Chains A and B, each alone.
Chain A
Amino acid sequence: MTPYPFTSLSDLSFEFTTDQGVVYKAYFISFGSVFSEFPEFSDSIYNFNLEVFHGDMYDQAMDQKIGETVVDIFRHFFAIRQNVIIYICDTSDNKHIVRKRKFDLWFWKYSDGSILKDDGLAVIEDTEIFNSLLVHKQNIFLDKIVSAFRTLNERAADK
């Protein structure tokens, strides 16, 4: 199996079209400001997102090439080894557990072993937010990045 080719690198996104004609946009938003106390790596931290741009995503559940394509996008992203991804499972439709399972499956099935994945569970009021850190194992700030990420998920009394 081969991933879908990126049909466009414009509009600040990786765009690809599935065999069923569904168009996906994968994009990264910088979250350097969140880690401003770590200027040595803050500018390299991005939040990854995947959105259906055209078509119905519910027809795509069995299309394994989508996962392979996402991991291929990660492969390109991590060509710059200091780049870091934080992925958050959207909770707005209560399908965050499904998203987590799918994301985990994609990673473990298609990853080449060069990326460290660290999973977190954040709590806001009564909502659980599954999140993951992806960082290249050869990133020179690996330990500091993992430590900073884990701190985000630690519990603290609301003040």
Chain B
Amino acid sequence: MENVKEQEKPMNSKGATIFKKMLDDQKAVRQHLRNGGKLTDLKDKYKFLDPLSIYIA
């Protein structure tokens, strides 16, 4: 009889995909800025906080 050892699966955090998305978004925005882009160029892709909204509120 052949022993079949169950393959160990890594114990990821429950929010692993969320944190990975945050890191991927950070990387994409950083690259955009380094290429001379502006955050306003990305406003359709990401929802940025408008600093002015803090002072208006």
* A complexed with B: yes
Task: For the complex, give the distance between the alpha carbons of A150 and B30 in Å.
Answer: 27
Q: Is the CB of B10 within 8 A of A28?
A: no
Knowing A124-B16, A125-B12, the reply to whether A47 touches B25 (Cβ < 8 A) is yes
- Chain B residues positioned under 8 Å from A28 (CB to CB): 48-49
- Chain A residues positioned under 8 Å from B39 (CB to CB): 11-13, 25, 27
Q: Is the CB of A88 within 8 A of B23?
A: yes
- Chain B residues positioned under 8 Å from A9 (CB to CB): 51-52
| A61 contacts the other chain (CB 8 A) | no
How many residues of chain A are within 8 Å of chain B by beta carbon? 43
- Chain B residues positioned under 8 Å from A79 (CB to CB): 54, 57
- Chain A residues positioned under 8 Å from B23 (CB to CB): 88, 90-92, 129
- Chain A residues positioned under 8 Å from B38 (CB to CB): 11
B-side residues, CB < 8 A to A, are 9-16, 18-20, 22-23, 25-27, 29-30, 33, 38-40, 43, 46-52, 54, 57
Q: Is the CB of A152 within 8 A of B14?
A: yes
Task: For the complex, give the distance between the alpha carbons of A80 and B10 in Å.
Answer: 39
Knowing A11-B38, A51-B29, A51-B30, the reply to whether A122 touches B15 (Cβ < 8 A) is yes
Task: For the complex, give the distance between the alpha carbons of A104 and B50 in Å.
Answer: 25
Q: Is the CB of B16 within 8 A of A46?
A: no
Q: Is the CB of B54 within 8 A of A77?
A: yes
| A86 contacts the other chain (CB 8 A) | yes
